[in-house]
Structure 1
Amino acid sequence: MLTLPHIRSSAGWTKLPAILLPVIYLAFGIWELPHYFAWKSAFFMLCVVAMGVVFQLDRLRPGSTRCGWMALLFLLLWWKIPVLTFRYATLITALFFVIEYFYGRLQTLVFITAALIAPAIDFVVNVFSFPIRLWLTGVAGKVLAGINPHVTTAGNMILLGKHEFSVDPACMGLQMMITSLLCGVMLIAIYQRRYGKVLPVTGVLILLAAIAVLNIIANLFRIILLVQLGLPAETPAHDAIGIISLLAYVMLPLLPGVKWMLQRYGKAVLLRDDVSVPPRYGMALQLLLLAGIVLAVAGGNRATVKMDRQVKHLPGYNYVSLEDNIVKQTTAHSLLYVKGIPGFYFTDHQPMICWKGSGFGFYKIQERLVQGARIYTAELKKDKSTLYTAWWYESRARRSSSQLEWRWDALCSGNNYYLVNITVEDEVLLEPEIQRLLDAHLIQ
């Protein structure tokens, strides 16, 4: 912990910045990231607890400037690419720079925890885990079909008679991936204190990879139990099965695993008699970084490239240009959104996030091949209404349903990609609308 006696023992010229800079960076974080974190959520409270558990200083090694150079790099990226993730990365590494320079060196677990609590990681898990969800549905369906021949699968759904079980991020439990990883780093920190040893970075990464694999296995068993017991979503029993699966298949195997890794590969914490002296040039780096962050905050949000003009206005559609490079085109029976993505590093407002924000559930999600293009189709359900939707990513030259594929092409070729999302009221209208949009080559 950072204590007042420790601050009093510091040199006189370091006392004021050692106290003020953390306050300034925390204030900037609250000002710049008001909607980046769900500040009042239980998950955010877990993040605070996790950071408190893993936070540990080597007070005999102050003066490190490594976080200062990292913060400077993120600051340059913030100026070039004004996304919230780089703002968060700049402010958190600047805060760590103050701590490491004035108080002592931080352990690796602190940096891993800071990365895990970033909403960008949650976005990556939810979006890029989609193929895993479809794969888990197929595996669970085959296992259940061996037990009960009446079980079938359709996209992300398992059908048992008239009952449908949807495997979405919340139901499937990959939503618990970040939670289990945070629990894992806390467990590692607790065992490190108990045994007086520290795992090397490779050991920590191996344990985190094992947690991810165990989480997938836990969710496979979870799906099977939910279908076999006929437990619908949003019930206490449904949630209880998820918690039990997490404890039984992830946390319990992790307890002896972490202990064994520490005993086998952990390195004893070396005690030092001398205290390192912070280099004076570090204060210049502190001031440079502070000035750059102040200028970045004062500069506000810079205008983004207008991408709506590259979207064709289709005949028969009403055309409206919205904010954030979104074009909306409508007919009496269809709704088309074309959303420009400024770069490979941006989030893409994909339908599984946007439609769920409007209260719709996703069912029967499938990847299909239409006119040589891979696209996703799904049913949207809310109360008693059902809509039918399809989406893919499109540039002037290519189409793709793969996050990795379109992002890699955007990085290598510089092509601007757009998310195309067509939604209709009647299922028979979806196929003709898809073919019409593919033939139209929307991006010009």
Structure 2
Amino acid sequence: MLNQRQFQHTISPQLLSLGILGILGLLYAPLLLHWLDGWLNKNISTEHEYFSHGIIGLPFAAYISWKNRKLWQRLPNRIHPLGAVFLLVGGIFYLSGISEWVNLSFPTILTGLCLWFKGILGLKLQRFPLLLVFLATPTLVPYLIAPYTFPLQSFIAGTAGFILNQFGMAVTVDEINIYVGGRIVEVAPYCAGLKMLFTTLYVGLMLLYWTGALSSRHKTISFLSIAVLISVSGNIIRNTLLTYFHGTGQEAAFHWLHDSWGGDMFSAVMLVLLIPILNKINSYFSEPAVIEQERANGQ
């Protein structure tokens, strides 16, 4: 009888966890598959396509949570009142049927579950996976930011025009419009590099966590600042190439870089560049610490 009770006591939390995962799967599997299909086939809205970094971010968040499962089990079961609030708000969002709210219900429900079962300690343990999920959740943030990107659009247009002028091309720039070869190229709000900037910062956070550099404020600020510069510079180069292709009548090359896999390849190369940069930053900030340690040992 005692063994039976011990077995029931042991299996109950496991069954509860499986039950919760099953319910979450039934509720959100269609939504996540919709996101994935839209990101891969680019048949989702322009604003929601900005969050395609979730293709790698959401599996990575799941991996981190799985890796922390033993630490999660060791935490005391402690209900925090905010858990009920998040679960209620998440449920209202989901039942509203409004696309943006349904999307936001996913990280809201996950946050509520952490607080409901493990309290603040559980939320702290899962804070980075939750951050990755939240930052990969499609919202209208790009649409809200777009009206304020005019200075960036003008800067990109002016710089692209300046570069092409140095190569002997007759280019005229009027605010966000570039005139070359009797054709016009507009640096539209969605061509200002916001998508690449979002992806660069997101992947940068993942790399910082993976290497353990996220715990260092100096490393984090330095790396993300350089990542922003790389993203902006890369977008200037891309817009310069697009203007050149369009102005010289190379429409196939223009569409390859603008609409096809050429743009994806260009973005991938930029993201790969982040790895050696982070390694350099880690080495730069680690060397003084090593020198100090060697001096201390020598003394």
TM-score when scaled to structure 1?
Answer: 0.44
Is the 8 Å Cα contact of residues 21 and 98 (structure 1) preserved in structure 2? no
- SS of alignment partner, residue 159 of structure 1: strand
Is the 8 Å Cα contact of residues 176 and 186 (structure 2) preserved in structure 1? yes
Partner of residue 137 from structure 2, selected from 118, 125, 131: 118
> Residue in 1 aligned with 2:107?
92
Q: Distance in 2 between matches of 1:200 and 1:11?
A: 39
Structure 1 or 2: larger strand share? 1
> Residue in 1 aligned with 2:21?
22
Q: Distance in 2 between matches of 1:261 and 1:146?
A: 33
Matching of residue 151 in structure 1 with residue 180 in structure 2: no
Q: Compute the displacement of 1:136 (Å).
A: 1.4
Paired residue type of 1:213: L
Q: Compute the displacement of 1:217 (Å).
A: 1.3
Paired residue type of 1:69: L
Paired residue type of 2:242: L
Pick the structure with greater CA Rg. 1
Q: Distance in 2 between matches of 1:220 and 1:148?
A: 18
> Residue in 1 aligned with 2:267?
246
Is the 8 Å Cα contact of residues 181 and 211 (structure 1) preserved in structure 2? yes
Matching of residue 213 in structure 1 with residue 226 in structure 2: no
Structure 1 or 2: larger helix share? 2
Q: Distance in 2 between matches of 1:134 and 1:66?
A: 52
Partner of residue 149 from structure 2, selected from 96, 108, 129: 129
> Residue in 2 aligned with 1:72?
85
Q: Distance in 2 between matches of 1:71 and 1:135?
A: 47
Deviations 1:336-366 (A, max 9, x none): xxxxxxxxxxxxxxxxxxxxxxxxxxxxxxx
Q: Compute the displacement of 1:260 (Å).
A: 4.5
Deviations 1:28-55 (A, max 9, x none): 3357x69984644316875243222343
Q: Distance in 2 between matches of 1:65 and 1:10?
A: 17
In structure 2, list runs of 5 or more residues that go unmatched: 1-6, 41-48, 287-299
Aligned positions of 1:218-367 closer than 5 A? 218-229=234-245, 230=248, 231-232=250-251, 235-238=255-258, 242-243=263-264, 245-247=266-268, 249-252=270-273, 254-262=274-282, 264=285
Partner of residue 60 from structure 1, selected from 71, 74, 83: 71
Is the 8 Å Cα contact of residues 57 and 136 (structure 2) preserved in structure 1? no
Q: Distance in 2 between matches of 1:123 and 1:74?
A: 27
**Distance verdict in 2 for CA 1:60–1:66, change over 3 Å:** same
Paired residue type of 1:134: S
Paired residue type of 1:18: S
- SS of alignment partner, residue 173 of structure 2: strand
**Distance verdict in 2 for CA 1:69–1:128, change over 3 Å:** farther
TM-score when scaled to structure 2?
Answer: 0.62
**Distance verdict in 2 for CA 1:211–1:37, change over 3 Å:** same
What count of residue pairs does the alignment treat as equivalent?
251
Deviations 1:210-236 (A, max 9, x none): 433321111112222333354447522
Q: Compute the displacement of 1:76 (Å).
A: 4.3
In structure 1, list runs of 5 or more residues that go unmatched: 1-7, 266-444
Q: Distance in 2 between matches of 1:249 and 1:88?
A: 29
Q: Distance in 1 between matches of 2:80 and 2:171?
A: 54
**Distance verdict in 2 for CA 1:30–1:142, change over 3 Å:** same
> Residue in 1 aligned with 2:292?
none
Higher relative contact order (CA closer than 8 Å, sequence separation 6+): 2
**Distance verdict in 2 for CA 1:262–1:127, change over 3 Å:** farther
Percent sequence identity is 18
> Residue in 1 aligned with 2:39?
41
Q: Distance in 1 between matches of 2:149 and 2:8?
A: 50
Is the 8 Å Cα contact of residues 150 and 160 (structure 1) preserved in structure 2? yes
Q: Distance in 2 between matches of 1:130 and 1:64?
A: 50
**Distance verdict in 2 for CA 1:64–1:191, change over 3 Å:** farther
Q: Distance in 1 between matches of 2:239 and 2:167?
A: 14
Paired residue type of 1:179: T
Q: Compute the displacement of 1:159 (Å).
A: 0.8
Aligned positions of 1:418-437 closer than 5 A? none
**Distance verdict in 2 for CA 1:186–1:198, change over 3 Å:** closer
